[in-house]
Amino acid sequence: MAERKRNWDTENDDDLPVYLARPGTADQVPRQKYGGMFCNVEGAYESKTIDFDALNVGQRGNRTPRTAKSGTSCSPTSASSQCKESTWYDMKDSGAEIKTTRGKEFLQNLGDDKSDRLLVKGGRIVNDDQSFYADIYMEDGVIKQIGDNLIVPGGIKTVEANGKMVIPGGIDIHTHFQMPYRGTTTVDDFSQGSKAALAGGTTMIVDHVIPEPGSSLIEAFEQWRNWADEKTCCDYSLHVDITHWNDRVKQEVDILLKEKGVNSFQVYMAYKDFYQMSNSELYEIFTFLGEMGGIVQVHAENGEIIAEEQARMLEMGITGPEGHVLSRPEELEAEAVFRAITIASQTNCPLYVTRVMSKSAADIISQARKKGNVVFGEPITASLGTDGTHYWSKNWAKAASFVTSPPLSPDPTTPDYLNTLLASGDLNITGSAHCTFSVAQKAIGKDDFTQIPEGVNGVEERMSLIWEKAVTTGKMDENMFVAVTSTNAAKILNLYPRKGRLAVGSDADLVIWDPDTVRTVTAKTHNSAAEYNVFEGMELRGGPSVVICQGKLVLEDGGLHVTPGVGRFIPCTPFPDYAYKRVKARKQLAVLRAVPRGMYDGPVSDFSPLSRGGTPSASARTSPTKQPVRNLHHSAFSLAGNPAQRGPPTTEDLPIRPAGRRIVVPPGGRSNITSLS
């Protein structure tokens, strides 16, 4: 286990410089067309399309070097005898309808050796672009072969899918397991949380590291790594939240990006006087991450107005959970989203809006996308599945369990609307923002809603809920379902096609999905430790019948077999193509040039350098770190080149109109319907 982990790490260490160097070498790569959300990822094609030869003529399938290699690697140690046993067993049962497993205890015993090889037969493989029937053979946690009539070593375990869908395991891009909060911790730790995730068909989670303001980002990151390495049952990765901003934080962000495998950072526009960043700080962070190839995630709410509204609510004597939603109307969310988009567009940085909870916020995102902004929206399980009417529940504990920020919208048509936008591609990625507190913990705020710890469950329900709300209603098809539950997330984390796709060479994280199973969500049976479930009583069609994580059967016949600590940290590299291809292209266009003029030699008025001076001198103090950024920028993007080289602004070529300026027509053009003339 550990050895394999090491392998991955070294592999990625090797990769890292290549990724970083890629912008410079991109001109040698044949130009690929791309566009919209399903842009191609370099190198994805080989593993993406099935080897049709292998499909048609089964024999040739094992011709590939990969298989050969795996054949040899199968041999080690004591497995052989057991191997035989299972061969016998498999052969005997090969005609059987369902799976050739014996029982749970047996499975767990097998653990390490035998179940490393697994064949899924007769499944309908569903990727984000197409579905097809094929068998999948995996070994050592990696998919080795896909096709019909695969030649596989004897003695392997076979799962009969019976034509059911086989989809890439879900990626929950937003969790808060084991999150410390004022001395307590969320009730779902990494073990409990990832167990719930696996039960719901999610085989990878991305958790948020939240450093205390003032403390080191790297220390916090290591702390989270420790917690997670010890306990997670599935692969994981980490976002790091930037809760304060200064030179040191900047260096740490740099290290995290380059050495620690973190490519996404969240900033807060809410939580005034605590996590909240000013516009100037946002501008600097966005500029920096835009140059370093990170993804900026934003918790979008206008914290200043919230603070005012909270004070007003409390003054009016509203102290219950309804005050939470009343003090955070959806407009404030939409406003912050708009502002974040503006800053991102100014700094040419890709933007990721976490927790899209309301119609208006989603609308702003889809409008911005239409204008060509590189922005991604993440609705969460709660916003897709339920609404904010429960804040008015007479049961305090129930009402409090819905408290999260931004709040669920009291408009009951919101979930439907968000599902529609998710299906249309205006929103791309789904998370759960799973962050559960017990009722006793929520009761910290029993007399003051602003003190209620925030967070809802959803990691377990996410996949089924989206299936129920979006696929069974006909809003999206199964391929789109895969896109929003895993593929897009993998792309934005730069893990594609290792994750988020069923292809040779991808990780063996997959789910056999049963679209017909019906299950009622209830706190009694869920795998989270929370006492309340915000989806209580909801009936969901569709669910995982088998979950395979790291090539091992984790969920089978309703029985969950997880091993805390097997989860590996998956490092993410900067400059994900999905977000950065467009950004890079735009950077080249965004070179500004001055107009060369003769010196003005006319009279100059006297003026007192009074307060109304221009701003830059005053603002300089807030940003001590400007100079180095520029340098980094130049070194990182050799493509963009030195503006001086690419055309000294000589007088003759000088544009009278702002040619170099980014008025650049946005993709899709700017609509101008009201023009009468």
Stretch 615-634 residues interacting with other proteins (CB under 8 A): 615-616, 618-620, 623, 626, 630
What is the distance, to the nearest Å, from the Cα of residue 50 to the centroid of all Cα atoms in its chain? Answer: 26
Question: Which stretch in 73-81, 252-260, 555-563, 607-615 sits in contact with other proteins by CB under 8 A?
Answer: 607-615
**Which region, left, alpha or beta, applies to residue 141 given φ > 0 means left and ψ of -120 to 50 means alpha?**
left
Question: Is the distance from CB of 157 to CB of 119 less than 8 angstroms?
Answer: yes
CA-only gyration radius of the chain, Å: 26
603 binds other proteins (CB under 8 A): yes
One DSSP character per residue, 42-101 reads TTHHHHHS--HHHHHSGGGGGGSHHHHHHHHHT--TTHHHHHHHHHHHHHHHTT-SS---
* Shortest Cβ 669–other proteins spacing (Å): 12
547 binds other proteins (CB under 8 A): no
Pick from 16, 20, 39, 307: which binds other proteins (CB under 8 A)?
307
Nearest-CA neighbor of 186 among 526, 435, 449?
435
Question: Is the distance from CB of 177 to CB of 189 less than 8 angstroms?
Answer: yes
**Which region, left, alpha or beta, applies to residue 259 given φ > 0 means left and ψ of -120 to 50 means alpha?**
alpha
Encoded tokens for 348: 């040419």
588 binds other proteins (CB under 8 A): no
Choose between 415 and 500: whose C-beta lies nearer to other proteins. Answer: 415
Footprint of other proteins on 441-470 (CB under 8 A): 441, 443-444, 446, 450-451
Helix axes 279-292, 330-347, angle to 10 degrees: 50
Pick from 65, 95, 592, 645: which binds other proteins (CB under 8 A)?
592
Q: How far apart are CA 277 and CA 268, in angstroms?
A: 6
Q: How far apart are CA 174 and CA 425, in angstroms?
A: 19
Choose between 31 and 612: whose C-beta lies nearer to other proteins. Answer: 612
Do strands 295-299 and 264-268 pair parallel, antiparallel, or not at all (unpaired)? Answer: parallel
Choose between 44 and 307: whose C-beta lies nearer to other proteins. Answer: 307
Choose between 251 and 438: whose C-beta lies nearer to other proteins. Answer: 438
Task: Assign 210 to helix, strand or coil.
Answer: coil
Nearest-CA neighbor of 593 among 644, 547, 540?
644
Question: Which stretch in 61-69, 83-91, 276-284, 516-524 sits in contact with other proteins by CB under 8 A?
Answer: 276-284
Q: Percentages helix, strand, coil for the chain, rounded to the nearest 5?
A: 40, 15, 45
Footprint of other proteins on 151-210 (CB under 8 A): 181-184
Q: In what helix (H) or strand (E) does residue 556 lie, and over which residues does it extend?
A: strand 552-556
Question: Which stretch in 161-169, 273-281, 376-384, 492-500 sits in contact with other proteins by CB under 8 A?
Answer: 273-281
DSSP 8-state class, residue 543: E
At 451, the amino acid letter reads: Q
Choose between 158 and 178: whose C-beta lies nearer to other proteins. Answer: 178
Tokens 């167990």 belong to residue = 195
Q: How far apart are CA 668 and CA 133, in angstroms?
A: 37
**Which region, left, alpha or beta, applies to residue 505 given φ > 0 means left and ψ of -120 to 50 means alpha?**
left
Choose between 2 and 673: whose C-beta lies nearer to other proteins. Answer: 673
Tokens 């130049």 belong to residue = 634
316 binds other proteins (CB under 8 A): yes
CA atoms within 13 A on the CB side of 186: 24
Question: Is the distance from CB of 125 to CB of 136 less than 8 angstroms?
Answer: yes
* Shortest Cβ 663–other proteins spacing (Å): 6
* Shortest Cβ 592–other proteins spacing (Å): 6
Pick from 7, 75, 94, 278: which binds other proteins (CB under 8 A)?
278
* Shortest Cβ 628–other proteins spacing (Å): 13
Contacts of 13 (CB under 8 A, 6+ apart): none
Choose between 104 and 662: whose C-beta lies nearer to other proteins. Answer: 662
Tokens 């041999």 belong to residue = 75
Pick from 20, 39, 44, 439: which binds other proteins (CB under 8 A)?
439
Pick from 76, 610, 648, 652: which binds other proteins (CB under 8 A)?
610
10 Å CB burial of residue 3 (0-12, 13-18, 19+) is exposed
Choose between 104 and 339: whose C-beta lies nearer to other proteins. Answer: 339
* Shortest Cβ 280–other proteins spacing (Å): 5
* Shortest Cβ 241–other proteins spacing (Å): 13
* Shortest Cβ 586–other proteins spacing (Å): 14
* Shortest Cβ 677–other proteins spacing (Å): 6
84 binds other proteins (CB under 8 A): no
Pick from 26, 318, 529, 640: which binds other proteins (CB under 8 A)?
318
Task: Assign 576 to helix, strand or coil.
Answer: coil
Q: How far apart are CA 126 and CA 116, in angstroms?
A: 22
314 binds other proteins (CB under 8 A): yes
319 binds other proteins (CB under 8 A): yes
Question: Is the distance from CB of 115 to CB of 551 less than 8 angstroms?
Answer: yes
* Shortest Cβ 210–other proteins spacing (Å): 10
Pick from 131, 216, 251, 438: which binds other proteins (CB under 8 A)?
438
At 74, the amino acid letter reads: C
Question: Which stretch in 439-447, 497-505, 506-514, 522-530 sits in contact with other proteins by CB under 8 A?
Answer: 439-447
Task: Assign 229 to helix, strand or coil.
Answer: helix
648 binds other proteins (CB under 8 A): no
Q: How far apart are CA 358 and CA 365, in angstroms?
A: 11
236 binds other proteins (CB under 8 A): no
* Shortest Cβ 634–other proteins spacing (Å): 12
Question: Which stretch in 124-132, 198-206, 323-331, 493-501 sits in contact with other proteins by CB under 8 A?
Answer: 323-331
Q: How many other C-beta atoms lie within 10 A of the C-beta of residue 585?
A: 12
Task: Assign 40 to helix, strand or coil.
Answer: coil
Question: Which stretch in 195-203, 330-338, 512-520, 537-545 sits in contact with other proteins by CB under 8 A?
Answer: 330-338
Pick from 312, 518, 635, 646: which binds other proteins (CB under 8 A)?
312
Pick from 105, 609, 645, 652: which binds other proteins (CB under 8 A)?
609
DSSP 8-state class, residue 149: S
Pick from 138, 423, 435, 538: which binds other proteins (CB under 8 A)?
423
Footprint of other proteins on 340-399 (CB under 8 A): 342-343, 345-346, 359, 392-397, 399
Choose between 163 and 628: whose C-beta lies nearer to other proteins. Answer: 628
Choose between 308 and 653: whose C-beta lies nearer to other proteins. Answer: 308
Give the angle 628-259-549 at the CA atoms, nearest 5°.
145
Task: Assign 15 to helix, strand or coil.
Answer: helix
* Shortest Cβ 364–other proteins spacing (Å): 8
Question: Which stretch in 87-95, 162-170, 222-230, 652-660 sits in contact with other proteins by CB under 8 A?
Answer: 652-660
477 binds other proteins (CB under 8 A): no
Interface with other proteins: number of residues (CB under 8 A): 120
Choose between 201 and 455: whose C-beta lies nearer to other proteins. Answer: 455
Choose between 355 and 442: whose C-beta lies nearer to other proteins. Answer: 442
Question: Which stretch in 107-115, 121-129, 158-166, 319-327 sits in contact with other proteins by CB under 8 A?
Answer: 319-327
Pick from 5, 66, 272, 370: which binds other proteins (CB under 8 A)?
272
